[in-house]
């Protein structure tokens, strides 16, 4: 297996999902069936995970947990997250899909605007570097130029419309 994660927009999206769902397995917890479908398809197509190795558990409040175990892929993903300041420093499909994955896991909209909850400091810096200004209010980080940010991630996000 390669020493670096082979990135494309699909893998970048899953990396964004994974970055805020870290654990012993590579997985997600969501109520959105589209996100589940993308995660499973990417795991099978890009990571060559067999369908019987992808585990699905029904949780509380209609949440579904979908995950798989693969120590090599987990290590590649963790290494990619450590290098994300270099991987996602340009405003392109890779960084758009990465932030779309994050938004689909911890993002939302309230009367104050678009936000990302409990955002990592490095991801805040990346957003600023990509010229998306932010403001922290409690556990939420609001994107000040929210329409531009929404347009940036819309192609890849399952929750921004």
Q: What is the CATH number of the domain that holds 28?
A: 3.10.28.10
Query: What's the pTM?
Result: 0.94
**Is 1 within the bounds of a domain?**
no
Whether 3 maps to a domain, the answer reads no
- 78 and 138 both lie in a single domain: no
Q: Within this chain, do residues 53 and 25 fall inside the same structural domain, yes or no?
A: yes
Whether the pLDDT of residue 95 is over 70: the answer is: yes
- CB 160 within 8 Å of CB 103: yes
What is the rounded CA–CA span in Å between residue 35 and residue 31? 8
Residue 34 φ then ψ, to 5°: -65, -40
Establish if 161 belongs to a structural domain. no
Does residue 68 fall inside a structural domain?
yes
Least confident among 2-16, 99-113, 140-154:
2-16
Q: Which residue has the higher pLDDT, 22 or 152?
A: 152
User: Quick check: helix, strand or coil at residue 140?
Assistant: strand
pLDDT-wise least confident of 3-7, 42-46, 100-104, 125-129: 3-7
Same domain, 13 and 74: yes
Domain identity same for 26 and 51: yes
The mean pLDDT value for 74-87 works out to 95
> In terms of domains, do 44 and 56 share one?
yes
CATH number, domain of 116, equals 1.10.10
The structural domain count of the chain equals 2
Q: Which of 86, 119, 143 lies at the terminal end of a domain, its last residue?
A: 86
| Look-up of token digits 């993002």 | 107
Same domain flag for 81 and 25:
yes
How many CB atoms sit inside 10 A of residue 155's CB?
A: 12
pLDDT at 1 over 50: no
Name the phi and psi angles at 114, rounded to 5. -75, 140
Q: By C-alpha distance, which of 19, 23, 30 is closest to 124?
A: 19
**End residue of a domain, out of 86, 101, 132:** 86
* Whole-number pLDDT of residue 2: 55
Q: Which residues contact 42 (CB under 8 A, 6 or more apart)?
A: 10, 11, 13, 14
Confidence of residue 59 (pLDDT cuts 50, 70, 90): confident
Tell me if 114 is assigned to some domain.
Answer: yes
Structural domain includes residue 159: no
Mean pLDDT of 79-87: 95
Domain that holds residue 106: 87-153
Q: Are residues 51 and 73 in the same domain?
A: yes
Instruction: Let me know if residue 140 belongs to a domain.
Output: yes
What is the bridge-based pairing of β-strands 55-58 and 64-68? antiparallel
Section 93-97 average pLDDT: 98
- Structure tokens given for 87: 């991987």
Alpha carbon distance 103, 150 (integer Å): 10
- Which runs of consecutive H residues, i.e. helices, occur in 3-160? 9-19, 33-45, 71-82, 84-87, 93-106, 121-129, 146-153
């Amino acid at each position: 297996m390669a020493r670096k994660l082979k990135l494309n927009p699909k893998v970048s999206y899953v990396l964004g999902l994974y970055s805020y769902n870290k654990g012993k397995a590579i997985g997600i917890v969501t109520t959105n069936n589209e996100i589940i479908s993308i995660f499973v398809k990417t795991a099978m197509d890009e990571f060559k995970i067999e369908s019987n190795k992808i585990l699905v558990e029904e949780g509380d409040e209609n949440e579904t947990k979908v995950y798989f175990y693969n120590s090599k892929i987990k290590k590649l993903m963790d290494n990619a997250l450590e290098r994300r300041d270099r991987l996602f420093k340009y405003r392109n499909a890779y960084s758009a899909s990465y932030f779309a994955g994050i938004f689909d896991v911890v993002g939302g909209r309230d009367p104050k605007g678009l936000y990302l909850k409990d955002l990592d400091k490095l991801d805040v810096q990346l957003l600023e570097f990509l010229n998306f200004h932010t403001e922290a209010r409690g556990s939420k980080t609001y994107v000040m130029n929210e329409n531009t940010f929404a347009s940036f991630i819309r192609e890849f996000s399952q929750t921004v419309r």
